[in-house]
Amino acid sequence: MSVPQPPEPIPGARLLFSLDPAVSHLNHGSFGAVPISVQRAQQRLRDEMEANPLRFFTQGLVDRIAHTRRHLAGFLGADPDGSALVGNTTTGVAVVLQSLGLQPGDEVLSTDHGYGAVSLAIQRECRRTGAAGRVLPIPLAATDEQVVQTVRAGLRPGRTRLLVIDQLTSATARLFPTAAIVGVAREHGVPVLVDAAHAPGMLAASVASIGADFWVGNLHKWAYAPRGTALLTVTPPWRERIEPLVVSWEQESGFPARLEWQATLDYTSWLAAPAGLFTLRSLGVDRVRAHNAALAAYGQRVVGDALGVAPAQLPDPGGPGVALRIIPLPAGTATTIDAARALQTRIGERLAAEVAVMSWDGRGWLRLAGQVYNTADEYERLAVRLPALLAQR
Protein backbone atom coordinates (compact mmCIF):
# COMPACT_ATOMS: atom_id res chain seq x y z
CA MET A 1 0.00 0.00 0.00
CA SER A 2 1.55 3.29 -1.08
CA VAL A 3 2.25 5.99 1.48
CA PRO A 4 -0.08 8.98 1.02
CA GLN A 5 1.77 12.15 0.18
CA PRO A 6 1.19 15.33 2.15
CA PRO A 7 -0.53 18.14 0.26
CA GLU A 8 1.23 21.32 -0.71
CA PRO A 9 0.79 23.93 2.04
CA ILE A 10 -1.65 26.74 1.35
CA PRO A 11 0.58 29.84 1.22
CA GLY A 12 0.08 32.21 4.14
CA ALA A 13 -2.61 30.12 5.81
CA ARG A 14 -0.69 29.69 9.06
CA LEU A 15 -0.43 33.47 9.46
CA LEU A 16 -4.21 33.77 9.52
CA PHE A 17 -4.29 32.31 13.05
CA SER A 18 -2.93 33.41 16.42
CA LEU A 19 -1.97 29.90 17.52
CA ASP A 20 1.14 29.39 19.65
CA PRO A 21 3.90 28.52 17.14
CA ALA A 22 5.73 26.44 19.76
CA VAL A 23 2.89 23.90 19.79
CA SER A 24 1.68 21.51 17.10
CA HIS A 25 -2.08 21.99 17.04
CA LEU A 26 -3.28 18.66 15.65
CA ASN A 27 -6.72 18.63 17.28
CA HIS A 28 -8.75 21.20 15.38
CA GLY A 29 -11.80 18.99 15.74
CA SER A 30 -12.31 19.64 19.45
CA PHE A 31 -12.51 23.43 19.69
CA GLY A 32 -11.51 24.76 16.30
CA ALA A 33 -9.31 27.83 15.82
CA VAL A 34 -10.67 31.28 15.06
CA PRO A 35 -8.82 33.29 12.36
CA ILE A 36 -7.43 36.63 13.46
CA SER A 37 -9.72 38.51 11.08
CA VAL A 38 -12.75 36.82 12.64
CA GLN A 39 -11.50 37.58 16.14
CA ARG A 40 -11.26 41.23 15.15
CA ALA A 41 -14.72 41.22 13.60
CA GLN A 42 -16.15 39.87 16.82
CA GLN A 43 -14.20 42.40 18.88
CA ARG A 44 -15.64 45.24 16.82
CA LEU A 45 -19.11 43.91 17.57
CA ARG A 46 -18.26 43.68 21.27
CA ASP A 47 -17.02 47.26 21.18
CA GLU A 48 -20.31 48.29 19.60
CA MET A 49 -22.23 46.39 22.28
CA GLU A 50 -20.29 47.92 25.15
CA ALA A 51 -20.46 51.43 23.72
CA ASN A 52 -24.25 51.42 24.07
CA PRO A 53 -25.69 48.16 25.43
CA LEU A 54 -29.28 49.37 25.40
CA ARG A 55 -29.15 50.32 21.74
CA PHE A 56 -27.30 47.12 20.78
CA PHE A 57 -29.84 44.80 22.41
CA THR A 58 -33.05 46.69 21.67
CA GLN A 59 -32.63 48.24 18.22
CA GLY A 60 -32.46 45.75 15.37
CA LEU A 61 -30.63 42.87 17.02
CA VAL A 62 -33.35 40.30 16.27
CA ASP A 63 -33.19 41.26 12.58
CA ARG A 64 -29.37 41.08 12.58
CA ILE A 65 -29.52 37.59 14.05
CA ALA A 66 -32.06 36.54 11.41
CA HIS A 67 -29.87 37.97 8.65
CA THR A 68 -26.88 36.03 9.98
CA ARG A 69 -28.95 32.86 10.18
CA ARG A 70 -30.01 33.21 6.55
CA HIS A 71 -26.39 33.65 5.50
CA LEU A 72 -25.17 30.57 7.39
CA ALA A 73 -28.13 28.42 6.37
CA GLY A 74 -27.55 29.32 2.73
CA PHE A 75 -23.95 28.13 2.95
CA LEU A 76 -25.05 24.83 4.50
CA GLY A 77 -27.91 24.20 2.08
CA ALA A 78 -30.50 24.49 4.83
CA ASP A 79 -33.88 26.19 4.91
CA PRO A 80 -33.30 29.57 6.62
CA ASP A 81 -36.89 29.70 7.88
CA GLY A 82 -36.55 26.23 9.34
CA SER A 83 -33.24 26.87 11.07
CA ALA A 84 -32.21 28.48 14.34
CA LEU A 85 -28.89 29.58 15.73
CA VAL A 86 -27.90 27.83 18.96
CA GLY A 87 -24.76 27.75 21.07
CA ASN A 88 -23.45 24.35 20.01
CA THR A 89 -24.54 20.93 18.82
CA THR A 90 -25.20 19.54 22.28
CA THR A 91 -27.50 22.48 23.00
CA GLY A 92 -29.45 21.70 19.84
CA VAL A 93 -29.69 18.05 20.83
CA ALA A 94 -31.01 18.99 24.27
CA VAL A 95 -33.62 21.28 22.68
CA VAL A 96 -34.90 18.51 20.44
CA LEU A 97 -34.96 15.89 23.18
CA GLN A 98 -37.00 18.01 25.58
CA SER A 99 -39.39 19.04 22.78
CA LEU A 100 -40.38 15.46 21.87
CA GLY A 101 -42.77 14.88 24.75
CA LEU A 102 -41.28 11.49 25.60
CA GLN A 103 -43.32 9.16 27.81
CA PRO A 104 -42.83 5.81 29.54
CA GLY A 105 -42.63 3.10 26.90
CA ASP A 106 -40.93 5.37 24.37
CA GLU A 107 -37.28 4.91 23.42
CA VAL A 108 -34.48 6.95 21.93
CA LEU A 109 -32.16 4.93 19.71
CA SER A 110 -28.50 5.83 19.15
CA THR A 111 -25.22 4.06 18.30
CA ASP A 112 -22.09 3.33 20.27
CA HIS A 113 -20.23 5.87 18.10
CA GLY A 114 -22.25 8.74 19.58
CA TYR A 115 -20.69 11.73 21.28
CA GLY A 116 -20.42 11.36 25.06
CA ALA A 117 -22.32 14.53 25.98
CA VAL A 118 -25.12 13.58 23.59
CA SER A 119 -25.37 10.16 25.22
CA LEU A 120 -25.58 11.86 28.62
CA ALA A 121 -28.34 14.16 27.33
CA ILE A 122 -30.32 11.16 26.12
CA GLN A 123 -29.89 9.43 29.47
CA ARG A 124 -31.04 12.52 31.39
CA GLU A 125 -34.14 13.05 29.27
CA CYS A 126 -35.05 9.38 29.55
CA ARG A 127 -34.69 9.51 33.34
CA ARG A 128 -36.86 12.63 33.46
CA THR A 129 -39.64 11.22 31.29
CA GLY A 130 -39.56 7.50 31.99
CA ALA A 131 -38.50 6.72 28.42
CA ALA A 132 -35.62 4.37 27.61
CA GLY A 133 -32.39 4.84 25.73
CA ARG A 134 -31.03 2.03 23.60
CA VAL A 135 -27.60 1.88 21.95
CA LEU A 136 -26.85 -0.03 18.75
CA PRO A 137 -23.29 -1.41 18.55
CA ILE A 138 -21.77 -0.89 15.12
CA PRO A 139 -18.34 -2.41 14.33
CA LEU A 140 -15.72 0.09 13.26
CA ALA A 141 -15.09 -1.82 10.03
CA ALA A 142 -18.78 -2.11 9.10
CA THR A 143 -19.58 -1.14 5.52
CA ASP A 144 -22.16 1.51 4.78
CA GLU A 145 -24.61 -1.20 3.79
CA GLN A 146 -24.01 -3.03 7.06
CA VAL A 147 -24.54 0.18 9.03
CA VAL A 148 -27.86 0.79 7.30
CA GLN A 149 -28.98 -2.79 7.86
CA THR A 150 -28.03 -2.62 11.54
CA VAL A 151 -30.10 0.50 11.97
CA ARG A 152 -33.01 -1.01 10.03
CA ALA A 153 -33.00 -4.08 12.27
CA GLY A 154 -32.76 -1.93 15.40
CA LEU A 155 -35.80 0.27 14.75
CA ARG A 156 -38.96 -0.48 16.70
CA PRO A 157 -41.82 1.33 14.94
CA GLY A 158 -44.38 2.62 17.41
CA ARG A 159 -41.85 2.62 20.22
CA THR A 160 -38.71 4.27 18.79
CA ARG A 161 -39.57 7.96 19.06
CA LEU A 162 -36.21 9.25 17.84
CA LEU A 163 -33.08 7.95 16.14
CA VAL A 164 -29.92 9.93 16.89
CA ILE A 165 -27.17 9.35 14.33
CA ASP A 166 -23.83 11.05 13.70
CA GLN A 167 -22.93 12.43 10.30
CA LEU A 168 -19.23 12.19 11.18
CA THR A 169 -18.48 10.52 14.49
CA SER A 170 -16.27 12.25 17.02
CA ALA A 171 -14.82 9.18 18.75
CA THR A 172 -14.12 7.13 15.63
CA ALA A 173 -13.90 9.69 12.80
CA ARG A 174 -16.34 7.58 10.81
CA LEU A 175 -18.55 9.05 8.11
CA PHE A 176 -21.98 7.45 8.35
CA PRO A 177 -24.34 7.06 5.33
CA THR A 178 -26.68 9.56 6.90
CA ALA A 179 -29.07 10.12 4.00
CA ALA A 180 -29.59 6.37 3.56
CA ILE A 181 -30.21 5.94 7.29
CA VAL A 182 -32.75 8.76 7.25
CA GLY A 183 -34.51 7.07 4.34
CA VAL A 184 -34.79 3.78 6.22
CA ALA A 185 -36.08 5.50 9.35
CA ARG A 186 -38.67 7.40 7.34
CA GLU A 187 -39.98 4.11 5.92
CA HIS A 188 -40.69 3.09 9.52
CA GLY A 189 -42.08 6.44 10.64
CA VAL A 190 -39.18 7.16 12.97
CA PRO A 191 -37.87 10.76 13.13
CA VAL A 192 -34.10 11.28 12.94
CA LEU A 193 -31.79 13.73 14.64
CA VAL A 194 -28.42 14.08 12.90
CA ASP A 195 -25.50 15.12 15.08
CA ALA A 196 -23.45 16.99 12.49
CA ALA A 197 -21.02 18.67 14.89
CA HIS A 198 -18.11 18.29 12.45
CA ALA A 199 -19.96 18.77 9.17
CA PRO A 200 -20.17 22.55 8.54
CA GLY A 201 -17.13 23.64 6.58
CA MET A 202 -15.62 20.15 6.33
CA LEU A 203 -18.22 18.12 4.44
CA ALA A 204 -19.84 19.09 1.17
CA ALA A 205 -23.25 17.42 1.64
CA SER A 206 -26.08 19.94 1.99
CA VAL A 207 -28.48 19.73 4.91
CA ALA A 208 -31.44 19.46 2.55
CA SER A 209 -29.93 16.45 0.76
CA ILE A 210 -29.82 14.51 4.02
CA GLY A 211 -33.50 15.07 4.74
CA ALA A 212 -33.42 14.54 8.51
CA ASP A 213 -36.18 15.79 10.76
CA PHE A 214 -33.54 17.50 12.88
CA TRP A 215 -29.97 18.40 11.94
CA VAL A 216 -27.54 20.36 14.09
CA GLY A 217 -23.92 21.28 13.37
CA ASN A 218 -21.20 23.54 14.75
CA LEU A 219 -19.76 26.33 12.64
CA HIS A 220 -17.02 27.06 15.18
CA LYS A 221 -15.03 23.99 14.23
CA TRP A 222 -14.43 23.75 10.48
CA ALA A 223 -16.19 26.92 9.31
CA TYR A 224 -13.93 29.29 11.30
CA ALA A 225 -16.76 30.93 13.25
CA PRO A 226 -16.26 32.16 16.82
CA ARG A 227 -17.02 29.51 19.41
CA GLY A 228 -20.62 29.14 20.43
CA THR A 229 -22.07 29.11 16.91
CA ALA A 230 -24.21 26.24 15.66
CA LEU A 231 -27.26 25.81 13.44
CA LEU A 232 -30.27 23.63 14.22
CA THR A 233 -32.51 22.81 11.26
CA VAL A 234 -36.01 21.43 11.78
CA THR A 235 -38.53 20.16 9.22
CA PRO A 236 -41.96 21.89 9.03
CA PRO A 237 -44.02 19.34 11.02
CA TRP A 238 -41.84 19.83 14.08
CA ARG A 239 -41.13 23.57 14.12
CA GLU A 240 -43.97 24.73 16.32
CA ARG A 241 -43.24 21.93 18.77
CA ILE A 242 -39.67 23.09 19.35
CA GLU A 243 -39.32 24.90 22.66
CA PRO A 244 -36.26 26.73 24.01
CA LEU A 245 -34.51 25.49 27.12
CA VAL A 246 -35.13 28.93 28.65
CA VAL A 247 -38.18 31.09 27.90
CA SER A 248 -37.42 34.69 26.93
CA TRP A 249 -39.12 37.67 25.32
CA GLU A 250 -39.42 36.20 21.81
CA GLN A 251 -41.37 33.16 23.06
CA GLU A 252 -44.58 34.23 21.34
CA SER A 253 -42.78 34.85 18.02
CA GLY A 254 -42.52 31.12 17.38
CA PHE A 255 -39.67 29.18 15.82
CA PRO A 256 -36.88 30.17 15.23
CA ALA A 257 -36.89 33.48 17.13
CA ARG A 258 -38.08 31.89 20.36
CA LEU A 259 -35.03 29.64 20.26
CA GLU A 260 -32.50 32.28 19.25
CA TRP A 261 -33.39 35.08 21.62
CA GLN A 262 -31.87 34.38 25.03
CA ALA A 263 -31.86 37.81 26.71
CA THR A 264 -28.32 39.01 27.48
CA LEU A 265 -26.50 36.25 25.63
CA ASP A 266 -23.36 37.50 23.88
CA TYR A 267 -24.60 37.35 20.30
CA THR A 268 -21.35 38.63 18.82
CA SER A 269 -20.10 35.13 18.04
CA TRP A 270 -23.14 34.58 15.80
CA LEU A 271 -22.93 37.98 14.15
CA ALA A 272 -19.23 37.47 13.38
CA ALA A 273 -19.73 33.96 11.95
CA PRO A 274 -20.11 35.18 8.32
CA ALA A 275 -16.56 36.54 8.61
CA GLY A 276 -15.45 32.94 9.19
CA LEU A 277 -17.20 31.83 6.01
CA PHE A 278 -15.54 34.73 4.18
CA THR A 279 -12.13 33.41 5.28
CA LEU A 280 -13.03 29.88 4.17
CA ARG A 281 -14.27 31.07 0.79
CA SER A 282 -11.21 33.28 0.33
CA LEU A 283 -8.95 30.27 0.80
CA GLY A 284 -11.19 28.20 -1.48
CA VAL A 285 -13.70 25.83 0.11
CA ASP A 286 -12.84 22.84 -2.07
CA ARG A 287 -9.14 23.55 -1.78
CA VAL A 288 -9.31 23.65 2.03
CA ARG A 289 -11.36 20.46 2.21
CA ALA A 290 -8.97 18.55 -0.06
CA HIS A 291 -5.90 19.88 1.75
CA ASN A 292 -7.18 19.02 5.22
CA ALA A 293 -8.34 15.53 4.28
CA ALA A 294 -5.04 14.70 2.59
CA LEU A 295 -3.02 16.02 5.51
CA ALA A 296 -5.04 14.04 8.07
CA ALA A 297 -4.55 10.87 6.00
CA TYR A 298 -0.81 11.54 5.84
CA GLY A 299 -0.60 12.12 9.57
CA GLN A 300 -2.52 8.91 10.29
CA ARG A 301 -0.16 6.86 8.16
CA VAL A 302 3.06 8.44 9.50
CA VAL A 303 2.09 8.07 13.15
CA GLY A 304 0.56 4.65 12.54
CA ASP A 305 3.80 3.43 10.98
CA ALA A 306 5.75 4.71 13.99
CA LEU A 307 3.47 2.79 16.35
CA GLY A 308 3.78 -0.40 14.30
CA VAL A 309 0.20 -0.34 13.05
CA ALA A 310 -0.17 -2.05 9.69
CA PRO A 311 -1.77 0.16 7.02
CA ALA A 312 -4.67 -2.27 6.73
CA GLN A 313 -5.43 -1.71 10.43
CA LEU A 314 -5.75 2.06 10.07
CA PRO A 315 -9.45 2.94 9.97
CA ASP A 316 -10.62 4.61 6.78
CA PRO A 317 -13.42 7.14 7.34
CA GLY A 318 -15.20 5.94 4.21
CA GLY A 319 -15.64 9.23 2.41
CA PRO A 320 -13.77 12.08 0.72
CA GLY A 321 -13.10 15.31 2.52
CA VAL A 322 -12.88 13.84 6.03
CA ALA A 323 -10.17 15.74 7.92
CA LEU A 324 -10.20 13.52 11.01
CA ARG A 325 -8.38 10.20 11.34
CA ILE A 326 -7.85 7.77 14.21
CA ILE A 327 -4.98 5.41 15.05
CA PRO A 328 -5.24 2.46 17.46
CA LEU A 329 -2.93 2.83 20.45
CA PRO A 330 -1.01 -0.12 21.94
CA ALA A 331 -3.12 -2.64 23.83
CA GLY A 332 -3.85 -1.55 27.38
CA THR A 333 -3.31 2.16 26.64
CA ALA A 334 -6.04 4.72 27.37
CA THR A 335 -8.74 2.10 27.85
CA THR A 336 -10.85 4.42 30.03
CA ILE A 337 -11.97 8.02 29.60
CA ASP A 338 -9.84 9.14 32.55
CA ALA A 339 -6.77 7.34 31.18
CA ALA A 340 -7.36 8.85 27.73
CA ARG A 341 -7.58 12.35 29.17
CA ALA A 342 -4.41 11.82 31.20
CA LEU A 343 -2.50 10.61 28.14
CA GLN A 344 -3.75 13.53 26.07
CA THR A 345 -2.44 15.91 28.72
CA ARG A 346 0.95 14.14 28.84
CA ILE A 347 1.33 14.39 25.08
CA GLY A 348 0.50 18.07 25.20
CA GLU A 349 2.90 18.83 28.03
CA ARG A 350 5.85 16.64 27.01
CA LEU A 351 5.65 16.66 23.23
CA ALA A 352 4.16 20.13 22.70
CA ALA A 353 1.49 18.54 20.52
CA GLU A 354 -2.23 18.94 21.05
CA VAL A 355 -4.08 15.80 19.98
CA ALA A 356 -7.28 14.00 20.91
CA VAL A 357 -7.10 10.68 22.75
CA MET A 358 -10.28 8.64 22.78
CA SER A 359 -11.40 5.55 24.64
CA TRP A 360 -13.81 3.54 22.52
CA ASP A 361 -14.80 -0.12 22.43
CA GLY A 362 -12.38 -1.04 25.19
CA ARG A 363 -9.22 0.43 23.71
CA GLY A 364 -7.45 3.73 23.23
CA TRP A 365 -7.33 5.69 19.99
CA LEU A 366 -5.33 8.70 18.90
CA ARG A 367 -7.32 11.16 16.78
CA LEU A 368 -5.55 13.58 14.47
CA ALA A 369 -7.00 16.45 12.49
CA GLY A 370 -5.72 18.24 9.41
CA GLN A 371 -6.12 21.99 9.02
CA VAL A 372 -4.66 24.71 6.83
CA TYR A 373 -2.31 25.87 9.59
CA ASN A 374 -0.75 22.41 9.92
CA THR A 375 2.31 21.10 8.08
CA ALA A 376 3.57 17.60 7.39
CA ASP A 377 6.58 17.95 9.69
CA GLU A 378 4.29 18.38 12.73
CA TYR A 379 2.95 14.84 12.29
CA GLU A 380 6.45 13.56 11.55
CA ARG A 381 7.80 15.01 14.82
CA LEU A 382 4.93 13.42 16.73
CA ALA A 383 5.66 10.10 15.05
CA VAL A 384 9.30 10.23 16.14
CA ARG A 385 8.60 11.11 19.77
CA LEU A 386 5.32 9.40 20.61
CA PRO A 387 6.51 5.77 20.82
CA ALA A 388 9.00 6.57 23.57
CA LEU A 389 6.38 8.43 25.59
CA LEU A 390 3.95 5.52 25.33
CA ALA A 391 6.68 3.12 26.44
CA GLN A 392 7.01 5.05 29.72
CA ARG A 393 3.73 3.76 31.12
For 265-311, write each residue's pLDDT tens digit: 999 999 999 999 999 999 999 999 999 999 999 999 999 999 999 99
Domain boundary among 254, 279, 304: 279
- Asked if residue 264 and residue 147 are part of one domain, the reply reads yes
Instruction: Give dist(CA 139, CA 373) in Å, integer.
Output: 33
Range of the domain at 191: 37-279
- Asked if residue 108 and residue 180 are part of one domain, the reply reads yes
Residue 1 has pLDDT above 60, yes or no: no
Give CA angle at 124 (340, 337), nearest 5°. Answer: 5
What's 334's domain CATH number? 3.90.1150.10
- Asked if residue 164 and residue 144 are part of one domain, the reply reads yes
1 in any annotated domain: no
What's 195's domain CATH number? 3.40.640.10
Total structural domains within the chain: 2
Which residues have C-beta within 8 Å of that of residue 156, sequence separation ≥ 6? 107, 109
Domain boundary among 257, 279, 301: 279
Mean pLDDT across the chain: 96
Instruction: Give dist(CA 1, CA 10) in Å, integer.
Output: 27
- Asked if residue 69 and residue 188 are part of one domain, the reply reads yes
- Asked if residue 289 and residue 261 are part of one domain, the reply reads no
How much is the average pLDDT of 8-31?
A: 97
Residue 317 has pLDDT above 80, yes or no: yes
How much is the average pLDDT of 348-363?
A: 97
- Asked if residue 370 and residue 255 are part of one domain, the reply reads no
Residue 182 has pLDDT above 90, yes or no: yes
6 in any annotated domain: no
Enumerate the H helices of the chain as residue ranges: 28-31, 36-51, 53-58, 61-76, 89-99, 116-129, 144-154, 178-187, 207-210, 236-239, 257-260, 268-283, 285-306, 337-351, 376-390
How much is the average pLDDT of 44-57?
A: 98
Domain boundary among 279, 300, 331: 279
Phi/psi of residue 175, nearest 5 degrees: -85, 120
How much is the average pLDDT of 14-35?
A: 97
How much is the average pLDDT of 319-340?
A: 95
Confidence of residue 69 (pLDDT cuts 50, 70, 90): very high
Q: Are 163 and 134 in contact (CB under 8 A)?
A: no
Residue 375 has pLDDT above 80, yes or no: yes
187 in any annotated domain: yes
